[in-house]
Structure 1
Amino acid sequence: MMSRSMNLMMAASVAGLLGFYLLYATVPLYVATGGAGEIGAGAATGAMMLATVLAELAVPWLLSRIGYRAAMGLGLVLLGLPALLLPLSPALPLVLPVALLRGAGLGILVVTGTALTAELVPAERRGEGLGLYGVAVGVPSILGLPVGLWAGGAAGFTAVFVAAGVASLAGLAAVAGLPSTRPARVGARRLGGRGLAGPALVFTGVTVATGVMVTFLPLAGSPELASAALLAQSLATPAARWLAGRYGDRHGSGRLLAPGVLAAVAGVALQIATGDAVAVVAGMALFGSGFGVLQNATLAVMFERGEASGVSALWNLAYDAGMGVGAMGFGLVLGHTGYPMGFALVAALMAATLPLTRAGTVRREPSIR
C-alpha cells in the first residue's frame, strides 16, 4: 500500500500543511494584536477559507486539465510564496489578499492529496489508507498549531511567517516523482451525488466547531493554555482517524458517525469552563478524537458512493467551508454571547446533525483479512 508515489504524495502534503498550520492560529493573533481586533481575526481566517472553498470547487476540473503532479506543485507555491509577504504589515489590506492566495493553494493541495490517496490504495483497504494519510497530514497540525503560537511570541511573527513559507515550498522537491495522471472531468452535478449530502453535512458540523476552536481558543483564555489544548487536539485527531479507518474496513465506517459526533459535542461543551485548564485540555483531546473519527468515517462512506476527485472536492469543501463559517460567524456573534455561551451554541449546532448519522449506516460488507 505504501508505494513510492504514496510516500512522495504524503511528503508533499505534509510540507504544504506544515506551512498552513504554522500560520492558521498565528495570523488571527497577528491581526488582532495589530489593531483589527476579533472581527479582523475572524475575517483573516474566513477569507482564507472562502478562497479554499472556491478553489476546491474547481480542482476536479483542474486535475482533468493538468493532472495530479502539476496541481500539487501549484498548491504548494500558492501556500508558500504569499506567506513571505506577511511581515510587511498586519493590516487587513495586505493580510486578506495573502489569505486568499494561500486559501486557494490549500484547496488545491488537500483535494489533490485526498483524491490521489483513493487512487493509489486498494479499494478493500481504503479506510486504512485514508487513515494513514490522515496520520501523515495530522503531523503538521501537531507541530504547527502550538509551535506557531509559541514561536510568534518567543521569536516574533516574522520568523514564523518565513518558516511557514519555506516549509511549503520545500514540498516541491517531492512533486517531481508524483504521477501526472489526469482523472476524468467531474461535472458540478456529480459533486452532490446520491448519498453524499448526509455525511457531508455531518462533517460540516464538526468543522464549524474546528474553525471556532482554532481561531478563538487563544483569545478566550491564555495563548499558553490554548497551545496545550490545541496540542492535545492535534495528537488525538490523527490517532483517532487511523483507528477509525481500521475499524471501518472491517465493520463499516457508517457505524462510527454517531459516536464521533457525540465525542466532538462533549469536547466543545467542556470549553464552557474557559478558565479551567483541565477541562479545556481534556475537552480539546475529546473533541480531537471525535473530529478524527468523523474525518475518516465520513470520507470512507462518501468514497463508497462516489468518484474519487468529486468526493474529495465535496468533502474538502465541507471541511473548509465549515471552518470558515465557524471563524467568521463566531466572531460576529461573540459580542452578544461571550465565550461560554458561544461554545455552548457550537456544541448544540453539532448535536443537531445527529439525525443525519443514520444515513451513513447503509450496510456494506466488511473486508476479511
Structure 2
Amino acid sequence: MNRPTISDLANTAGVSLSTVNRLLHGTGAVRADTVDRILDAADKIGFYGLGALRQRKHDNLPRRRFAFLLQQSHRPLYQLWAEALTAAACRRNDAVIEPNVIFEDDLSPEAVSANLLRIGETADAVAVITADHPLVSQAIDDLRGRGVPVVAYVTDLSAASRAGFVGTDNWKRGRTAAWFISQTADGAGKVFPLVGSNRYQCQDIADASFRSYMRENAPSFQISDTLLTHEEPENAYEIVRSLILQEPEIKGIFVNGGGISGVLRAMRELPAERQNKIRIVCSDVGPETRKGLSEGLITASLSHPLDKMPAELIDVMLRLIDRRDTSSIEQRIVPFDILTPESIWT
C-alpha cells in the first residue's frame, strides 16, 4: 500500500495543497480550525508527518503573557492559588500562555496601583486581587488606555475601566454562612462577623447578606458589629481571644476573609467543652483550614474552587484580548465549594 502523500492529506482535509505546505513548513499562519481539520485528516489516513503537524500546531498557537497580581506571599491560600493559576495556564491547548504570578505583601493602594502599572508594561492581560480604592481604579484606567485588559479576581472592583470579574456569588456565600451557624448552634447567643478590610467588595457583600439572613430567619441571635482583622492572623487571634474571654454567650464566628489560622489558634486554647459550643464558618481552603475542619473546630468553609475559578479566569482573559475594543465587562460567577468536617479530603 502506497504511503499517503501531501496531496492525499489536502484532499481528505478539504484544503489546498499550499495550506498543508504552509503548516508543514511553518511558512505562514493557518487558522486554528483549519489546523485541526488537517490533523484529523492526517490521523485518519495515517499520514507519516503527523508528529510534525502536531508540533506545527503548537508553534502556530498565539502567544500570550498573563500577569496575576496576588497578595500576601506568606499565606498558604495565595500559594495554592498561584499554583492553580499556573497549572490552568499550562493546560490550555488553544494558546501558549506565559503566566507571571506576582505577590504584593504591601496591601496599600499605592503599592498595588504602582505594581499594576509596572506589570502592565509587559503583560497582554492582568488579573488582580485587591481592595477597592480610587488609586487602583486610576491604574486600571491607565492600563485600559494602553490596551491591557484588567480582570478583578475573587473580589470585584468599582473601576469603570475593568474588563471583567471572575468570582463567586458573595451574597449567597454570606447567607449560607448564616444558615450554617444558625442551624448548627446549640441555641441562640452572640455571633461575631470578621472581615479583612471594608474595601473588599466580596467581604462587604457577604457581611451584608449574612446579617440579612440572620434578621429574617434567626432574630434570636445577636449579631455584633463587624470586626476588622486587616487580613492578619495575629490580629484575628487577639480579637477572638478577647471575645472568648469577654463573651460567654458566643455561639458563632464568621471569618469572612483572612486570619483563619489566628482564629483556630485562639480556639485551640479552649477546653473541648467550650470549643464545641462555638460554630466557625470561614472562606479559606488552605492547609490550616483543612486541619481545622478535620479537628471539628470549623463547621464549614465556603471556599473559592481551586480547579474551576482559575480555568474561568484564563478563559476570560483570552476572550478579552480578542475584543479589546469593547466597553462591556465580562462577568463569570463560579459556585463556591462547601467543605465540612465530613466532606473534606485530607
TM interval, short-chain normalised: under 0.3
By percentage of residues, which structure has more strand?
Answer: 2
TM, length-normalised to structure 1: 0.23
Q: Radius of gyration: which is bigger?
A: 2
Answer 1 or 2: which has greater helix percent.
1
Q: Which has the higher contact order (CA 8 A, sep 6+)?
A: 1
